[in-house]
Amino acid sequence: MREIIAIIRMGNVGKTKAALEKAGFPGLTCRKVLGRGKKAADYVMASGKPVLNENGALSGELVSLAARVGQIHTLMPKRLFTIIVRDEDSKRAVDAILDANSTGKAGDGKIFVIEIDEVVAIRTLERGEGAV
Amino acid sequence: MKIGKLERDSAAHGGFKAQGVDGPRGPASLLANAKAFTDPKENHLILRKTAGRRWAMVMVRAVVRPEKAMDVLADLAAAGFPSATKFDVFGRGKQKGVVVGDVYYDEIPKEMIFCVVHDEDKEAVVQTILSAARSTPNGAYGDGKIFVHKVAEAYTISSRKAEL
């Protein structure tokens, strides 16, 4: 079995749920998270101003902006999806998430695939692939 | 003995107010980090790792004190690992919660931080978190745990590529 962890934009939850259901993966867990990617300082992008001035230093507007908004803005609100699938379904599930979320812009998110050794269904006590 | 429920203190929760404008992890140092991510000369750390090669990856999950979460994130960014995700959790460890006076707290608020890095960077990330998350030089009960496990695949949604 494989666990697929997808970190996606807040507004794409409904679309992703629908896409996964259509692909045959109705069961999922979703939660609110804060995160950041390779582009660390979001307020730099949010300001829409040049990051470095002509001297190669950070422009003064950014310094005041950063002092104003504080550190919380370095983390963006995201939604974290977790679904467990059989090995052979992993690619289909990943493709479904990619199709629903890929806009080509930074901030679309990440998908991580992790191998799971054991799954137990609490109601039926079934173990392994049948419990997925 | 009463069973208590710890509420999240909005100030301690993010800790943003307390760590405000100055200090080693204030906006000034964050801006220094920001420069590292925008300056191509300083950006080699990131570029080197995403140059089209496929690497073995690990997920590092750390459960840390809420007041230490932003310290950990700032130190990770300074060490060249800006990507991370954070969320609130409640839990207990070997000490089975804490007793304050005659109130027993079963679940203690913590923050879970996780990041996925290439295998070769595992030790650097773990050491960075360890040094940032300990509340006293020798560590104390409640400082948290770090778990590391393998990641089979990672995809960047925007580019649809199987890479970090």
B2-151 CATH fold: Alpha-Beta Plaits (3.30.70)
pLDDT of res. A53: 58
- Complex-level ipTM beyond the 0.95 threshold: no
Are residues A71 and B30, on separate chains, in Cβ contact within 8 Å?
yes
pLDDT of res. B1: 64
Close Cβ partners of B91 (under 8 Å, ≥ 6 residues apart): B63, B107, B108, B110
d(CA A25, CA A101): 16
Q: Nearest to residue A109, comparing CAs of B145, B160, B50?
A: B160
**Tokens 């419990």 -> residue:** A131
**With bands split at pLDDT 50, 70 and 90, how would you rate the model's confidence at A94?**
very high
Q: How many domains does chain A fold into?
A: 2
Q: From residue A119, how far is each of A45, A73, B60 by CA, in Å?
A: 42, 37, 21
Are residues B83 and A66, on separate chains, in Cβ contact within 8 Å?
no
Which site among A13, A114, A115, A118 would you substitute to test the B interface, given the most B Cβ atoms closer than 10 Å to its Cβ?
Answer: A114
pLDDT of res. A1: 92
Contact of A47 with A82, CB cutoff 8 Å: no
Close Cβ partners of B46 (under 8 Å, ≥ 6 residues apart): A38, B37, B80, B82
- Per-residue pLDDT tens over the stretch B37-79: 444 444 444 444 444 445 589 999 999 999 999 889 888 888 8
- Per-residue pLDDT tens over the stretch B30-40: 445 544 444 44
Same domain, residue pair A12 and A70: no
Residue B157 has pLDDT above 90, yes or no: yes
Q: Which residues of A touch B60 (CB under 8 A)?
A: none
Same domain, residue pair A125 and A62: no
* DSSP secondary structure code for residue A10 in this structure: G
Q: Mutual orientation of helices B27-38 and B69-78 as an angle, nearest 10°?
A: 40
Same domain, residue pair A93 and A118: yes
Contact of B59 with A114, CB cutoff 8 Å: yes
Q: What is the mean pLDDT of residues A98-121?
A: 92
Task: Give the containing element (helix H, strand E) for A58.
Answer: none
A31-50 residues touching B, CB cutoff 8 A: 31-41, 44
pLDDT of res. A107: 87
Q: From residue B151, how far is each of A7, A113, B49, B91, B114 by CA, in Å?
A: 15, 6, 16, 24, 12
Terminal Cα-to-Cα distance of chain B (whole angstroms): 49
A60 touches chain B (CB under 8 A): no
| Domain of A59, in residue numbers | 39-74
Same domain, residue pair A29 and A81: yes
Same domain, residue pair A6 and A45: no
- Per-residue pLDDT tens over the stretch B93-118: 888 888 888 899 889 999 999 999 99
